[in-house]
Structure 1
Amino acid sequence: MPKTDYLNDPAAPKANALVVAVTVVVRDDAGRVLLIKRSDNSLWALPGGAQDVGESTAQAAIREVKEETGLQVEIDAISGIYSDPNHVIAYDDGEVRQEFSICFRARLVGGTIRTSAESAHVQWTDPTKLVELPIHPSMLLRIRHGLENRAPYIG
């Protein structure tokens, strides 16, 4: 389902949904961050997605990383909660979501990198190379907060 992100855009459509979503910052032993190239908009992002009924947000985060990357992780902490009403995501089916995402920090515990229907590419990326990749500003904020050793962001 293709999507378009709008951030601080007065021409953005009005939100008609609020869905709990998760993203996950995973780093390897070299300090690189796990990123996917999304199949729906060709932007680089943290692995993540919507929480399903019957699972916790931590379970959703673990499931999404496994589904999108093939890797198994354990959650360490929350790095931020993102709920900016000026960030909406419009889907081609007419749904327009107000952002609501909980970003976790996690550690790798197993698996083998692979792509999925949602991830056209999966890679470990040196944080100094982030500026070279097409990443939505809201995702870049999550990545940067996740890489910092700080109290969780709430915004």
Structure 2
Amino acid sequence: MYHVYVIENESTKEKYIGYTTNLKQRLADHNRHKNISTAHGSQWNLIYCETYLHKLDALGREKFLKSGSGWRFLKKQLSHYLNMVGNDELKIGSISVPMGVDAVVQNSEGHILLIKRSDDGTWSMPGGWVDANETPDEAIKREILEETSLKVKVLELADVIVRESGSVHLTYIVDVVSGNIRGSVESTDVRYLPIESVNAWHADHMDRIKRVIGQVPKSRTKTN
């Protein structure tokens, strides 16, 4: 997984664009002045991030964002978030891209771990939003633990989509390490189900599962 990111210097408002496979470590390195391009000024803050499965896609996106067209796109995207939150006092540099994470968990029978949401009664993959100063990998493990009481390990990032609103949504393939299924206040039911038996899906979760379902090797999954 490759992250294309934009950081801004808190004092000078200078911006820097780069890519990395470890966003948390890279941000720490920038603020420890280990990168010659950012080895000056004060705190560097993350203001924009996109995630890609392939290195060449990330490199191409980094190159685009460094171009004149890329900067115009970036300003437009950040302005969109400013309008979306409806706060004219917010500075563009303080707005980040919402990123959601969900996971396909499959048992030996080929059934998918699904959550029946308490808010609308639909079925969805376990998942949620990435918190500040948290990597997507950390977020999906936290969300699954909170929603199902299962501890998992991330096997791979299988799908990335960007909605019209601009939010980025990642679908992971994960493997259960330990635990017994137990729901939370956010759900009324949690169980493994064949996807064809589900009629009420949350948003586009069925389509996203179908896109990655063939990528889940049966030998790497466990039944709980």
Considering fraction of residues, name the structure with more helix: 2
Matched-pair contact (CA < 8 Å) for 2:195–2:206: no
Aligned to 1:63: 142
Q: Which residue of 2 aligns with 1:48?
A: 127
Q: Give the aligned residue type for 2:212.
A: G
| Structure 2 residues not aligned, in runs of 5+ | 1-79, 86-96, 217-224
More strand by share: 1
Alignment map for 1:71-90 (pairs within 5 Å):
71-85=150-164
* Pair 1:114-2:151 in alignment: no
Secondary structure at the counterpart of residue 196 of structure 2: helix
Give the CA RMSD over aligned residues.
2.0
Q: CA deviation at 1:137?
A: 4.8
TM-score after normalising by structure 1: 0.72
User: Which residue identity does 1:58 align to in structure 2?
Assistant: D
Give the share of equivalent positions with the same residue, in percent.
29
CA positional deviation for 1:31? 1.6
Which secondary structure state, in structure 1, belongs to the residue aligned with residue 110 of structure 2? coil
Deviation at 1:140, TM superposition (A): 1.0
**Cα distance in structure 1, aligned partners of 2:145 and 2:199:** 23
The C-alpha deviation readout for 1:97-133, integer Å capped at 9, x for no partner, is x44211100011111111101121101012332xx33
CA distance in 2, matches of 1:137, 1:56: 24
1:136 maps to which of 202, 207, 220: 202
Contact 2:125/2:205 (8 A) holds in 1: yes
Aligned to 1:104: 172
Q: Indicate yes or no: 2:217 matched with 1:146.
A: no
Name the CA distance, whole Å, in 1 between partners of 2:185 and 2:203: 23
AA aligned to 2:171 is C
Extract unaligned runs of 5+ from structure 1: 1-13, 89-97, 151-155
Alpha-carbon separation, structure 1, partners of 2:206 and 2:100 = 16
Residues 30-71 of structure 1, C-alpha deviations (whole Å, 9 max, x = no match):
221100011122110000000111221001001111101111
Kindly report structure 1 stretches of 4+ aligned residues shifted beyond 2 Å: none
Residue by residue, what CA displacement relative to the aligned partner does 1:65-114 show, whole Å, maximum 9, x if unpaired? 110111111111111111120xx5xxxxxxxxx44211100011111111
Tell me, what secondary structure is at the counterpart of 1:55?
A: coil
What is the identity, as a one-letter code, of the residue corresponding to 1:64? E
Q: Taking structure 2 as the reference length, what is the TM-score of the superposition? A: 0.51
Quote the Cα distance in structure 2 between the aligned partners of 1:66 and 1:145.
24
**Pair 99,135 (structure 1): closer, same or farther in 2 beyond 3 Å:** farther
- Tell me which amino acid in the other structure corresponds to 1:73: V
Q: Structure 1: which amino acid aligns with 2:174? A: A
Q: Is the 8 A contact 1:27 1:108 kept in 2?
A: no
* Conservation of the 8 A alpha-carbon contact between 1:28 and 1:108: no
Question: Which of structures 1 and 2 has the bigger CA Rg?
Answer: 2
